[in-house]
């Protein structure tokens, strides 16, 4: 698990195709002295398992699932990425609960300055809109952020200079693809509301306004 508070900005050093998968190597200034084989490191919000590491680098194998569900398949050598080691029980919880399991790829649809802050609008896939809430938490490229305003599936973010300086956010431009992870609590609440119907096999959620009214959640 992670908190979404970025510890370092790393750089993609190599991308090696291996039998349909990819092995990625990240160069970072992050302290890796306490990293062990099999540890997790969130890289642009993607939970990667360390298979090899040195003083200032680590490598991980990336599955087809991760390549298809994240921006990792678009990464280039030299690209800047946000890096965070898995949290410890003693870690100060500065962000929110982040699993590193990316839900979808979203797109930066507006970029402008707002006083000293940076203002962004992110267009999320319509299917994720139900998990978004104004003033709720969202993880964008591994960064724990607050949704300031929400219009359907378009969420707005205001980032203070400190956040922009300590992450790769300064590289975001109109059309940039980013990894999106919704608040994990929203997903569990959805399953709980389904009750026994959660066991039914389906490719789509059965949670709807009609379902909530039928089962006494709405009056």
β-sheet bridge partners, residue 81 = 10
The domain 8-85 is placed in CATH, from the list 3.40.50.300, 3.30.360.10, 2.60.40.650, 2.40.30.20, at: 2.40.30.20
pLDDT of residue 187: 86
φ, ψ at 6 (rounded to 5°): -70, 135
**Which spans in the chain are helix H?**
64-69, 161-165, 184-194, 209-214
Whole-number Å distance between alpha carbons of 150 and 132: 8
pLDDT of residue 110: 97
φ, ψ at 32 (rounded to 5°): -105, 15
Which one, of 19, 85, 21, lies nearest residue 53 by Cα? 85
| pTM for this entry | 0.86
Structure-token pair, residue 169: 């956010």
pLDDT of residue 25: 98
Sequence spans of domains, the chain: 8-85
Structure-token pair, residue 66: 């991760």
pLDDT tens-digit readout, 167-197: 999 999 999 999 999 998 888 888 888 888 8
What angle is formed at CA 10 by the lines to CA 123 and CA 121, rounded to 5 degrees? 15
CB atoms under 10 Å from CB of 192, counted, come to 9
Whole-number Å distance between alpha carbons of 141 and 100: 10
Q: Using alpha carbons only, how large is the chain's radius of gyration in Å?
A: 18
pLDDT tens, N- to C-terminus, the chain (219 residues)? 899 999 999 999 999 999 889 999 999 999 999 999 999 999 999 999 999 999 999 999 999 999 999 999 999 999 999 999 998 877 777 788 899 999 999 999 999 999 999 999 999 999 999 999 999 999 999 999 999 999 999 999 999 999 989 999 999 999 999 999 999 888 888 888 888 887 886 655 655 556 555 655 555
Which one, of 77, 19, 30, 86, lies nearest residue 53 by Cα? 30
Q: Strand runs (DSSP E) across 2-136, as ranges?
A: 8-18, 21-27, 40-43, 46-53, 57-62, 80-85, 104-114, 117-123
Q: Cβ distance 44 to 100 under 8 Å?
A: no
Coil, helix or strand at residue 130? helix
Residues contacting 15, CB < 8 A, separation 6+: 22, 23, 24, 75, 76, 77
Whole-number Å distance between alpha carbons of 68 and 45: 14
């Amino acid at each position: 698990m992670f908190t979404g508070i970025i510890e370092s900005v790393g750089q993609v050093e190599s991308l090696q195709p291996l039998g349909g998968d990819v092995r990625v190597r990240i160069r970072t200034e992050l302290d890796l002295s306490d990293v062990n084989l099999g540890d997790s490191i969130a890289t642009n919000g993607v939970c990667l398992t360390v298979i090899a590491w040195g003083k200032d680098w680590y490598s991980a194998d990336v599955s087809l699932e991760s390549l298809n569900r994240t921006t990792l398949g678009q990464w280039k050598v030299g690209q800047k990425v946000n890096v965070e080691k898995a949290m410890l029980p003693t870690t100060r919880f500065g962000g929110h609960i982040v699993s590193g399991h990316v839900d979808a790829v979203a797109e930066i649809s507006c970029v402008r300055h707002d006083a000293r802050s940076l203002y962004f609008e992110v267009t999320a896939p319509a299917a994720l809109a139900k998990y978004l809430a104004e003033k709720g938490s969202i993880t964008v490229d591994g960064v724990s952020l607050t949704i300031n305003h929400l219009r359907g599936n378009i969420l707005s973010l205001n980032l203070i200079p400190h956040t922009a300086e300590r992450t790769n956010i300064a590289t975001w431009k109109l059309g940039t693809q980013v990894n999106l992870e919704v608040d994990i609590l929203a997903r569990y609440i959805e399953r709980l509301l389904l009750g026994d119907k959660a066991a039914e096999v389906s490719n789509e959620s059965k949670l709807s306004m009609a379902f909530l009214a039928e089962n006494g959640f709405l009056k």
